[in-house]
Structure 1
């Protein structure tokens, strides 16, 4: 296998997931700033021109971070980061989906339509007038999440899961592009502090 990776929070999610599982596979950097991801070589891996892309041993490719992580979970079962029972897997998927739709998407699009506009306006449909509202929505949903995870070590309960990794990588990204989390969200802030102490946070950052 080989992981085509780059700067940005999406590939970092997969790298951190791999680090937590102790999975070591070759990495190949795709230069987003030069537009390498929009060249034919990478478009043949992912027609959307995005990263990451996981090349399997048969030469086929998987894209989308949750699909890649699901595959790695099934092929490297320990330690489990999605779950070992139908109930655990469903709960992790539920929280991962909630975080993805309610926080990740508005936060990422708030960046693309504002600070990232020079980079993205020629590549995707951008709506600059929506940027401020999207950023505000992401913050509102973080406050919503903060209340729901009170008293829990991690998002789903006592165990680290994909939901925590997804949240951490995107909130770290958000803070770097003008969308810091409000300190009043004490439960989320505590979770982020805990995640920063994990070796996988340092390994996946590069």
Structure 2
């Protein structure tokens, strides 16, 4: 088994944090996204979309998409639960994972997609659209701040989950693009501090 990964890629980072939180060690095959190693013919045979992460099992089975890879390891090692231990918890974690992907990660990811030269062959880049996402980010952070106003540390039932891992990926992108969380949102800042304090933050 090996994991094709690179810590600079937000989806790859999600799997690395997930594994760290589980205490699972998997051999890592580094893939340098900055020099387009994901676009080589050899890598495209593993993932035709030219994206990481990719998990390759010992029998040659390939699993792509970060959440699918995380689901595989959740099934192999249920504890600590990061995707919900009961049907209700699993549904709630899924709900919050979707919210974090669409409402929080989405704007900063779209900003990068439409401004970084690396993605020029992936989408028709529209810089003006990227600027709309910059203006949207404070509104989305304010929404999350209101959601966290009950004092909970983590977004789903006050238990660290894959939804928070998506938040970690968002914060790493915010650091990279220099678009920090607004200082006037105490609840989000409390949540941010809790994530940055976790040992898995430095994956």
Q: TM-score range by the shorter chain?
A: over 0.9
**CA deviation vs aligned residue, 1:148-186 (integer Å, no higher than 9, x gap):** 122112101221100011112211221221221101121
Across the two proteins, how many residue pairs are aligned to each other?
A: 201
Q: Secondary structure at the match of 1:33?
A: helix
In structure 2, the partner of 1:130 is 129
Asked whether 1:37 is paired with 2:15, we answer: no
Per the alignment, in what secondary structure is the counterpart of residue 3 of structure 1?
strand
Query: How many Å apart are 1:71 and its aligned residue?
Result: 1.3
Q: Does 1:194 align with 2:194?
A: yes
1:153 corresponds in structure 2 to 153
RMSD: 1.3
Paired position in structure 1 for 2:84:
83
**TM-score of the aligned structures, taking structure 2 as reference length:** 0.94
The answer to whether the aligner puts 1:16 opposite 2:34 as a matched pair is no
Structure 1 CA distance for aligned equivalents of residues 38 and 124 of structure 2: 17
Describe how 1:46-57 pairs up with structure 2 within 5 A. 46-57=47-58
TM-score between the two structures when normalised by the length of structure 1: 0.92
Question: Partner residue of 2:169?
Answer: 169
Cα distance in 1 between the residues matched to 2:156 and 2:122: 36
Match of 1:142 in 2: 141
Indicate conservation of the 8 Å contact 2:114/2:123, yes or no: no
The answer to whether the aligner puts 1:103 opposite 2:99 as a matched pair is no
**Match in the other structure for 1:26:** 27
Q: Counterparts of 2:158 and 2:74 in 1: how far apart (Å)?
A: 19
Which region of structure 1 is more displaced relative to structure 2, 87-96 or 104-113?
104-113
8 Å CA contact 1:107, 1:135 repeated in 2: yes
Contact 1:104-1:138 within 8 A present in 2 as well: no
- Aligned counterparts of 1:103 and 1:11: Cα–Cα separation in 2: 17
Give the corresponding residue for 2:94.
Answer: 93
How many Å separate the matches in 2 of 1:20 and 1:13? 11
Cα distance in 1 for partners of 2:46, 2:123 equals 19
Unaligned runs of 5+ in 1: none
For the 8 Å contact 2:3–2:55, the answer to whether it is kept is yes
Looking at structure 1, the residues matched to 88 and 173 of structure 2 have their Cα atoms a distance apart, in angstroms, of 30
Q: Could you list the structure 1 runs, at least 4 aligned residues long, displaced by more than 3 angstroms after superposition.
A: none
Q: C-alpha separation between the residues in 1 aligned to 2:45 and 2:183?
A: 43
Q: What are the Cα deviations for residues 110-166 of structure 1, in whole angstroms up to 9, with x where unaligned?
A: 12212x1x2221333322220111122233112101111221121012211000111
2:111·2:130 contact (CA, 8 Å) conserved in 1? yes
Gaps of 5+ in 2: none
